[in-house]
Structures are given as C-alpha cells and as structure tokens.
Amino acid sequence: MNAIISASELASALAGENPPVLLDVRWQLSVAKAAGEPPFDGRAAYLAGHLPGAVFVDLDRELAGTAGAAGRHPLPDLAEFGAAMRRAGVSAARPVVVYDGGQGWAAARAWWLLRWTGHPDVSVLDGGLTAWEGPLSTDVPTPAEGDFAPVPAAAGLLDADGAAALARSGVLFDARAGERYRGDVEPIDRVGGHIPGAVSAPTNDNVGPDGRFLPAEELGARFKALGATDGTEVGVYCGSGVSGAHEVLALAVAGIPAALYVGSWSEWSSDPSRPVAVGPDPQ
C-alpha cells in the first residue's frame, strides 16, 4: 500500500474492479486577514467542482474536535468520526483516496486519522486537485453507507508529555515554518518558539514547486540528515496537528514510521508552565 497516489494511477484505479472511495477535504488555515475578506469555504469550493463521485469532508467538524485547551484541532470524537466516514461510504474492504486543493495538509490529516484508526488502504492524491487532468463534477453523490469502524492504534499518537520525552530520547520534528519555530513571529498562538529539543523541519521542504512530494530517496536523505537515522524513534508536531500530518505522510513516503503530536504547538503553548525554546538551536 502506497501512502500517495499519482493522478494517472488514480484514474486507472477508478476504472478498476474495486474503485476507491474519494474524499474531498479542501481546507485552508484560518488566520487574520484583511478586513472584510471572507474565510475560505471548502464546501463551496467542492460544490463548484470536484472529482466525480467524491464526497466532501469538513476538516474542522469531522476530522477534529472542538478547539480548546487540547489545541485548535484536537482528535475528533471517534464515534462521530466513524459515523462521518461511514456516511461518506468508507468501508474497510475498499481503498480510500483523499485529496485537497493542492497543499496536501488537509488530505494528510484525513489520511493519518484513517490509518491510525485502522483503515488498511488509504492514499493521498499527490499534488491534490491541481494535479487532476480529468473532468470535474458538480453533482453531489449519496454513497451507500460504509462499514468502517475506527479502532485507534496503540502507537502513532503523542501527547504533550510524550512529545517532550521524545525530543530527548529520539527526534521530534517541528513541521512549521522556520520563523515560527525560532519565535521570530507567531501569528496564531499565545507565544512563539518551539518545544525544547525539537528539530526544525518545515513541511514545505518536502514538496517541489508543483506541490508534489519529492522522491522517496530525497525525502529519506533529508530526514536522516535531520536525525531520523535507523532505529531512532520519530515524532512530529506543527501548529495544530494538520501540517504535521503532512510531515508524517512525507516520512511514510520515505519509509520512516513516525508518531503525531496532535495537540501540537496550539496545545503546548497554551500552558504557561510548559518550557519554550526560541532561536535556531533546538535547546
């Protein structure tokens, strides 16, 4: 099972005997913008045109719980997540392909949740909707109810204490932009900086100009140079567990298993008792 799928491979799979369920997870990070500019509406973008047969999944409502002390995008209630996936037609015996508008973060969040809760065959469309060369549709499908029942894995998930410990015993990657890692700027959270011991590894460096992942060999070399050597336990965090999922996906493409700290910096920085490091040095 490959973590990513090309547009041509997806076209072939859709014409096959067991075509994948398609999930459209278009989403953009909500940050303060010019007065009067409306927030991005993923559902509206979906209704304007999507892959034929794709079902829209709302990241904020179906792939995350209510924002609060546990972060901006904490884990969803698993019963509600399972119900949302079944409504979208997700079943254990049928592959799933997830896509977004091209950035890959939202699709990766859906990929990570489905994989962590036990779905055996989930892929992300490499390059997202912009990579698709086939026709789009405005029809909204009503898929048959799926049978997927999420069962969380014992591994693959970090809490704040686990992330802090892993930054000392293994390698903890910070997937945010370098300026947020250093604490030069912090447009969203209470304070800037990073978890002490974490290594800066911006997720944007995992893709080329077209938004598609770099070759597995290049990704592997990048992560090994940053400390993900053989036998080293690896974890990832970001701002709220979305772009971090994209980094976990990049690591999977490189053949390196990694856990995700879902609460990420939005949870860590909300607690004044937790230490904060600033500058380019991990410590």
**Catalytic sites, residue numbers:** 238
- Do residues 23 and 99 make contact, with C-beta atoms less than 8 angstroms apart? yes
Distances (CA, A) of 114 to 12, 98, 117, 240, 245: 23, 10, 5, 18, 12
Place of tokens 């700027």: 185
Interatomic CA distance for residues 235 and 118, integer angstroms: 19
Across 213-248, b (16+ Cβ under 10 Å) vs e yields bbebeebbebbeeeebeeeeebbbbbbbbbbbbbbb
Q: Could you tell me which of 71, 49, 53, 186 has the C-alpha nearest to residue 130?
A: 49
Q: Which helix (H) or strand (E) holds 174?
A: strand 171-174
End-to-end Cα distance, the chain: 37
Q: Is 282 strand, coil or helix? A: coil
